[in-house]
Amino acid sequence: MPNTSTNWNLVDKNFNRISVGDKLPDFRGDLCTVTGLGHPPRTPESSGRIELDGSLYYPSIVDCIWLTDEALYEAQVTALEHAGIPRSDAQGIVDATKLQQTRSTPNHN
C-alpha cells in the first residue's frame, strides 16, 4: 500500500493537477481519457499508475508524474524562478494560487 501519511498529486508537465475526466495526449498523440487516478508510487523506485480509458498505465505515457505536496510546491516555485521571478515572489504566487484553489473547492462533508 502507498504511504497514506503523504498527500500525493498526479500532475502534468506544467504541474497542473490531473482529474478524472481530463483528456490527455499519449506519446503517440492519441487522446486518452483519465478514468481514475490509479495510485501513487508504492516504493521510491516506482512511478505509480494512472487509469486511462479503464486500464492502468505508467503516468509517463501521458507526460504525467506523481508528486508529494512538498515536491509539487517546490517544482512550482522553481518553475517560476526559471521564468525570472524572484523566489520570495514565486512562493507568494504559489501560496496565493493554492489558497484560491482551496477556497473554490466544494466541501463534501
pLDDT in tens, 28-69: 999 999 999 999 999 989 999 999 999 999 999 999 999 999
Residue 18's domain comprises 8-104
Q: Are 50 and 34 contacting, i.e. CB atoms less than 8 angstroms apart?
A: yes
Q: What is the largest CA-CA distance in the chain?
A: 42
**Does residue 42 sit within a domain?**
yes
pLDDT for position 14? 92
Report the alpha-carbon angle 91-16-82, nearest 5. Answer: 45
pLDDT over threshold 70, residue 100: yes
- Rounded to whole angstroms, the Cα distance separating 64 from 44 reads 16
**Does residue 13 sit within a domain?**
yes
- Total count of domains within the chain: 1
**Does residue 90 sit within a domain?**
yes
**Does residue 3 sit within a domain?**
no
pLDDT for position 99? 74
**Does residue 1 sit within a domain?**
no
pLDDT for position 106? 57
pLDDT for position 5? 56
Q: Which residues pair with 12 in a beta bridge?
A: 64
Positive/negative CA dihedral, 78, 67, 95, 25:
positive
**Does residue 18 sit within a domain?**
yes
For the chain, percent of residues with pLDDT exceeding 90: 79
**Does residue 54 sit within a domain?**
yes
pLDDT over threshold 60, residue 2: no
pLDDT for position 36? 96
Range 12-21 average pLDDT:
95
**Does residue 98 sit within a domain?**
yes
pLDDT in tens, 65-87: 999 999 999 999 999 999 999 99
